[in-house]
């Protein structure tokens, strides 16, 4: 059975992808850690749209997680028609004060699992001559971000990796999109322990813009309006050192000492 595999489908943007694609009649495989939330979403979408919704509760930051997803897919005899690599998190603060294990988990989730799942399902999509891989990057991936340093670097990876794959695979019928949301109304900011930006948009709007970009066969899409378009173009207009110094002053946590000795907790 062909499914849309969505990571991080228990809340926010991933949950909105599940809602939108179920409404199109697509069967789903939803993955996140929160089994209760996944089960509630699966039950509702099956009842509302009549689609099959599989769920897998898994920590995708743990080593070997992508292999566990693949084992489940094989056991259930599923075919992954669309892969939406959405699960991710950030952490606000100076790197010198952040917990190294949390940063490692961020890299594992935002980069390693995303890359491994992409490599797992891309070859079969090429053989079938169709498929969609939608990787969730961020406007943070277009330039360095002091106090979100590791997060922004992970999203730069996602953006670069996905755009290269777009070019490699479009002749094979496989669409690859780097989705680059600006601030979006989800639990992201609570998890990252950072203030909520004023110009956030609903997650449903991000998903609508993303699905339109898939239909347009685009390599990337920046969602959420003109402010985000300005931000992603700053690196074109400003030399790198003034740019990163400006961002440091804008994002410096209120309690930060001059040496960056700050922790958001």
Ligand X SMILES: NC(=O)c1ccc[n+]([C@@H]2O[C@H](COP(=O)([O-])OP(=O)(O)OC[C@H]3O[C@@H](n4cnc5c(N)ncnc54)[C@H](OP(=O)(O)O)[C@@H]3O)[C@@H](O)[C@H]2O)c1
Active-site residues, by number, are 151
Enumerate the β-bridge partners of residue 174.
131
Angle at CA 108, nearest 5°, toward 181 and 3?
65
Cα–Cα distance measured from residue 179 to residue 172, given in angstroms and rounded to the nearest whole number: 21
Taking every pair of C-alpha atoms in the chain, what is the biggest distance, in angstroms? Answer: 57
x-or-dash pattern for ligand X, window 197-236, by CB under 6 A? ----------------------------------------
Q: 3-class DSSP state for residue 109?
A: helix
Q: Which of 16, 10, 4, 5 is nearest to 202 (CA)?
A: 16
138 binds ligand X (CB under 6 A): yes
Q: Which stretch binds ligand X (CB under 6 A): 18-26, 47-55, 185-193, 230-238?
A: 185-193
Q: Nearest distance from residue 178's CB to ligand X, in Å?
A: 11
The answer to whether 57 touches 38, Cβ cutoff 8 Å, is yes
- Looking at 49, 59, 95, 264, which residue binds ligand X (CB under 6 A)? 59
Considering the complex, what minimum distance in angstroms separates the CB of residue 194 from ligand X?
10
Please select the residue that binds ligand X; options are 13, 122, 156, 194, rule is CB under 6 A.
Answer: 13
What is the radius of gyration, based on Cα positions, of the chain? 18
DSSP code for 224: S
Q: Which is nearer to ligand X, 145 or 239 (CB)?
A: 145
Residue nearest to ligand X (CB): 12
For ligand X, the binding residue among 5, 18, 61, 133 (CB under 6 A) is 61
Let me know: does 60 contact 113? Beta carbons within 8 Å: yes
Q: Are 194 and 264 in contact (CB under 8 A)?
A: yes
Least CB distance to ligand X at residue 13 (A): 4
DSSP secondary structure letter of residue 220: E
Residue 199 CB, shortest distance to ligand X, in Å, is: 10
Question: Per this entry, what is the length of the chain?
Answer: 265
Total residues interacting with ligand X, rule: CB under 6 A: 28
Q: Which of 19, 81, 88, 221 binds ligand X (CB under 6 A)?
A: 88
x/- string (CB under 6 A) for ligand X, residues 95-124? --------------x---------------
The Cα angle at residue 183 between residues 177 and 187, in degrees rounded to 5: 100
Interface residues toward ligand X, by CB under 6 A = 8-14, 32-34, 37, 59-61, 86-89, 109, 136, 138, 181, 183-184, 186-188, 191
């Amino acid at each position: 059975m062909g499914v849309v595999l969505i990571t991080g489908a228990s809340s926010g943007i991933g949950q909105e992808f599940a809602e939108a694609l179920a409404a199109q009649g697509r069967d789903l495989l939803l993955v996140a850690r929160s089994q209760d939330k996944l089960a509630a979403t699966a039950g509702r979408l099956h009842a509302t749209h009549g689609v099959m919704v599989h769920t897998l509760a898994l920590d995708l930051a743990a080593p070997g997680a992508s292999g566990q997803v693949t084992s489940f897919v094989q056991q259930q005899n599923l075919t992954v028609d669309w892969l939406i690599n959405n699960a991710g998190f950030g952490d606000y603060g100076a790197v010198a004060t952040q917990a190294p294990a949390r940063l490692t988990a961020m890299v594992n989730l935002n980069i390693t699992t995303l890359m491994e799942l992409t490599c797992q399902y891309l070859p079969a999509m090429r053989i079938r001559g169709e498929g969609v891989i939608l990787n969730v990057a961020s406007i943070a991936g277009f330039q360095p971000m002091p106090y979100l340093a590791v997060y922004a670097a992970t999203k730069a990876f996602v953006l670069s990796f996905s755009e290269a794959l777009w070019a490699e695979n479009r002749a094979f019928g496989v669409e690859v999109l780097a989705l680059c949301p600006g601030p979006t109304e989800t639990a992201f900011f609570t998890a990252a322990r950072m203030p909520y930006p004023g110009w956030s948009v609903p997650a449903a709007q991000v998903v609508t813009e993303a699905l339109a970009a898939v239909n347009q066969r685009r390599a990337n899409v920046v969602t959420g309006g003109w402010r985000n378009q300005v931000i992603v173009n700053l690196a074109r207009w400003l030399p790198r050192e003034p740019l990163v110094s400006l961002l440091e002053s804008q994002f410096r946590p209120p309690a930060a000492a001059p040496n960056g000795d700050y922790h958001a907790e």
